Amino acid sequence: MLLTIKLYFSTRMPLPYCAKCQSIIPLPLLTTETKRAVLLAVRSNQTFMAIKLIKDTSVSDLKDAKCVVDHINKVHGHCHNCSYTTLETEAGVCPVCNSFNFNWPDEVVY
């Protein structure tokens, strides 16, 4: 985890925060292929596979990988936590429930 924190803070960018679960959200460096595999696993309800993919292909530890998977939305544009359906950024906070979302586009999958 120390290596992960060094990597995140070396970019000098503020880390996103999820007000809903009160967590700092790690930003793993993932290739398009890894994002595709993780998104397919999440959409297929294979949560453990998605966590393993992130953990094995980035510098994330198990806790960070789980946190990332918990914040990936299953339907592009829809908040993973509430019924809001017009998220536009690839990573951002839902204006309704303040939950952080990884809103990876469908093009990553296809």
51-106: pLDDT as tens digits: 999 999 887 789 999 999 999 999 999 999 998 999 999 999 999 999 999 999 88
pTM of the entire structure?
A: 0.82
Q: What does the pLDDT read at residue 33?
A: 92
Residue 74: other Cβ atoms inside 10 A: 11
Q: How confident is the model at residue 2 (pLDDT cuts 50, 70, 90)?
A: very low
Mean pLDDT across the stretch 7-28?
Answer: 76
